[in-house]
């Protein structure tokens, strides 16, 4: 009914409504309800896409964080080995080489 009346002029709509036993205000209310129903459906789909994107970003963030921690540990270990090597060379001097 709403789609059928969407293209009608005000005069045509009034005549059609009289034939059907309706008021033009009823058709207008139905049209508004249809628009609201469609408007609420779109944000739900957008919300689901946003949720999926957020989950993907959180997963990527966790992966990158663990990779960074692993690299920081390796860097700290390497720095400790270099410090120990310099101390060893300082203590034993030329004999160690």
For residue 92, the enclosing domain spans 2-96
**Model's pTM, two decimal places?**
0.47
Q: What one-character-per-residue DSSP string does 4-61 give? A: HHHT--HHHHHHHHHHHT--HHHHHHHHHHHHHHHHHHHHHHHHHHHHHHHHHHHHHH
The structural domain count of the chain equals 1
Per-residue model confidence as pLDDT tens digits over 8-63: 888 888 898 889 898 888 989 988 888 887 766 667 777 888 899 999 999 999 99
């Amino acid at each position: 009914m709403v789609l059928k009346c969407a293209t009608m002029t005000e005069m045509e709509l009034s005549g059609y409504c009289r034939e059907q036993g309706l008021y033009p205000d009823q058709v207008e209310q139905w049209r508004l309800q249809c628009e609201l129903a469609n408007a609420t459906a779109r944000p739900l789909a957008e919300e689901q896409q946003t949720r999926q994107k957020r989950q993907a970003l959180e997963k990527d963030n966790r992966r990158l964080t663990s990779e960074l921690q692993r690299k920081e540990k390796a860097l700290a270990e390497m720095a400790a080995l270099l410090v120990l090597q310099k101390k060893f060379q300082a203590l034993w001097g030329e004999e160690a080489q």
